[in-house]
Amino acid sequence: MSSIPYQKVEKSISTWAILILATACGMIVANLYYAQPLVGLISSAIGLSSGAAGFIVTLTQIGYGIGLLFIVPLGDILENRKLVVASLFLTTAALVIAAMGKSSALFLTASLFIGLGSVAAQVLVPYAAHFSPDATRGRNVGNVMSGLLLGIMLARPVSSMVAEYMGWRAIFYISAGLIFVLALVLAKLLPVRQPLTTTKYLALLVSMLDLLHSTPILRRRAIYHACVFGTFSLFWTTVPLFLTSPVFHFSQKGVALFALVGVFGAIAAPIAGRLADRGWIRPATGFALALVIISAFLPLLIKTGSTFSLVTLVVAAILLDMGVSANLVLGQRAIFSLGAEIRSRLNGLFMAIFFIGGAVGSAIGGWAYVMGGWKVTMLIGMALPAMAMIYYATEKMYFKNV
């Protein structure tokens, strides 16, 4: 297949290709979350102390963050299909090492590289945007992001169930096989995307600082999503603790089943994409932020472990995931309209900034729950999107159409 330069995109990517990209993104990003509900099992097996068990998840996140800043921008200068396939082979190797690892040092090193290779998903998202005309770009990005979000939401319950019946190592072996097959499929089916940019790698990295400084839409959208993703991480870090507390007395299986309700939130991604294509990014953003605020307020009403309280918590989880999903797609649609030649760098910066918000949310959530309980935790969770909403209120005076 011949390479297709940025300037010659004329027709929309096919539906089957969008489906493949959505499935691929979900399968790839799930690797970041498989270990989260298995930390206790893994730390015991590899001889890691309870105090250091958090590194199992943290190092994967650090690897992902490094990849966002140093690998994803390569999508602006390297042929994208080869970059994605190479990253997936790296991920496959790291997953096999993690599954086989007997020592903590080996497992933690593999965790770092699992995160590093998983940024392939963030090369595929602007890839979908490139092969989409303006009229359908939001819809296509939204469809791809719905697959990615499903991967995030399903990863924890799936790994919990697999560990329950096959042991914790099985999920890493299974994922390694799936990612290897995925790499072969993408290498065969995806069209070539060769950027026209001839910028050297070091200059590319330096240019990211310039983009961050000179692109107010990027900064604004990243701050919006850092706040809502902070609430997302805070909620899903602490809700298992709340569900297993004396209020609800959930088992780990029950927690895994509860996590499945978040899947319904992914339906907001393609809807948000369609709204963005109609030029409704600004009002849709306000609605998405409002959903996240409401989702953090509802759990404050819970006082007992009654059926009504559980239903309230389920509704809150769905609204939260809907608001976060919609805001993510709206943000990417806004920044992807700024120029095809810088999309990978913009996406890397956008993801890295809001990923920091998620890490902060997780850290604050765990601390707040221990120190102040569920209500204090949710008050903080409500404050984050409230700050984003206040900042959003200033948007009109700066931008005519974002």
Same CATH fold assignment for domains 13-198 and 199-395: yes
- Of 83-87, 129-133, 213-217, the poorest mean pLDDT is in 129-133
Cβ(145)–Cβ(332) below 8 Å = yes
Structure tokens at 234: 């805070």
Q: Locate the domains of the chain by residue range.
A: 13-198, 199-395
pLDDT tens digits, one per residue of 136-156: 888 888 888 888 888 988 998
Owner of token pair 């004329």: 10
Q: For the structural domain made of 13-198, what CATH number should be given? A: 1.20.1250.20
Range picked from 192-201, 229-238, 251-260 for highest mean pLDDT: 229-238
Give the CA distances from residue 294 to residues 189, 309, 394, in Å, rounded to whole numbers and listed in that order.
Answer: 42, 15, 21
Cβ(259)–Cβ(156) below 8 Å = yes
CATH topology of domain 199-395: Growth Hormone; Chain: A; (1.20.1250)
CB under 8 Å to 278, separation ≥6 — which residues? none
pLDDT tens digits, one per residue of 188-210: 988 888 887 778 899 999 999 99
Q: How far apart are CA 185 and CA 196, in angstroms?
A: 25
Q: How far apart are CA 370 and CA 65, in angstroms?
A: 27
Quick check: helix, strand or coil at residue 251?
coil
Provide, rounded to the nearest whole percent, the portion of the chain with pLDDT above 90. 51
Residue 6's pLDDT is 43
Residue 397's pLDDT is 57
Give the CA distances from residue 229 to residues 65, 153, 181, 358, in Å, rounded to whole numbers and listed in that order.
Answer: 15, 13, 31, 5
Greater model confidence, 287 or 55: 287
